[in-house]
Amino acid sequence: MQPSVIFDLDGVITDTAHYHYLAWKALADSIGAPFDAEANEALKGIDRMASLRWIAARSARDFSEAELTTLAERKNAHYQRLIADMAPEDAFPGVPELLLALRRKGCRIGLASVSKNAAFVLDKLRLTELFDYVADAASIVRTKPDPEIFLTVAAALGTPPSACVGIEDAAAGVEAILAARMPAIGVGSSEILGRANLVVAHTREITPEMIFALAASVAEG
């Protein structure tokens, strides 16, 4: 039996991080909160409301829950306008081919993204049909680094966590995979993702054989 493979979205399948940055930057500027690219890195893998609270805490103003909800909606509307023109070519090189190869080899494939726009983005990239299950971030109580989203996807795929491999580009995501007791592949810097079982610079470097070998080696202990 082949392992199931659970992907993060942003930074693994496509680069929506820049659009998130632009939307968060505009919102932060509007409330007088300092925000730059380094601050944006700190929000990788963190859900929308937690990110908003982090930004709002840097403002001199206090916000009610109702105001925070309004700000979150404003940010999301801005983000959706920015990603409205995404197209299949916005998927990272090699991603469609990897997904197709995994399906041909009998793997079940899931998406574990905290983005509530994940399904919209997959549709824009024309990758929806290559996934067996896409997590509904709205139904997840605890965000990464808690393992809940990866455990939820594994359950939906009908696969024990130990028979899954998770792929992430954020340290919080790698911690979530490991907490779910799954082997982790990190995409990006080994300095940031060093806790992963395996780190590659780009998703295009990942092959089905690499995934199978990692799953087998972890299973053997």
Q: How far apart are alpha carbons 195 and 215 in whole angstroms?
A: 16
Catalytic residue (choose from 8, 47, 132, 169): 8
Q: Are 170 and 187 in contact (CB under 8 A)?
A: no
Q: Which contacts (CB < 8 Å, 24+ apart) does range 187-194 have?
A: 187/11, 187/12, 188/11, 193/168, 193/169
Fill in the DSSP letter of residue 175. H
Report strand pairing: 4-7 vs 133-134. Answer: unpaired
Catalytic residue (choose from 10, 47, 132, 169): 10
Is 36 among the residues known to form the active site?
A: no
Phi, psi of 168 (to 5 degrees): -140, 155
Write out the two tokens for 199: 């780190």
How far from chain centre, in Å, is Cα 205? 18
User: Pick from 166, 96, 104: which is nearest to 128 by CA?
Assistant: 96
Q: How far apart are alpha carbons 208 and 4 in whole angstroms?
A: 11
What is the identity of the amino acid at 203? Answer: T
Question: Which positions are catalytic?
Answer: 8, 10
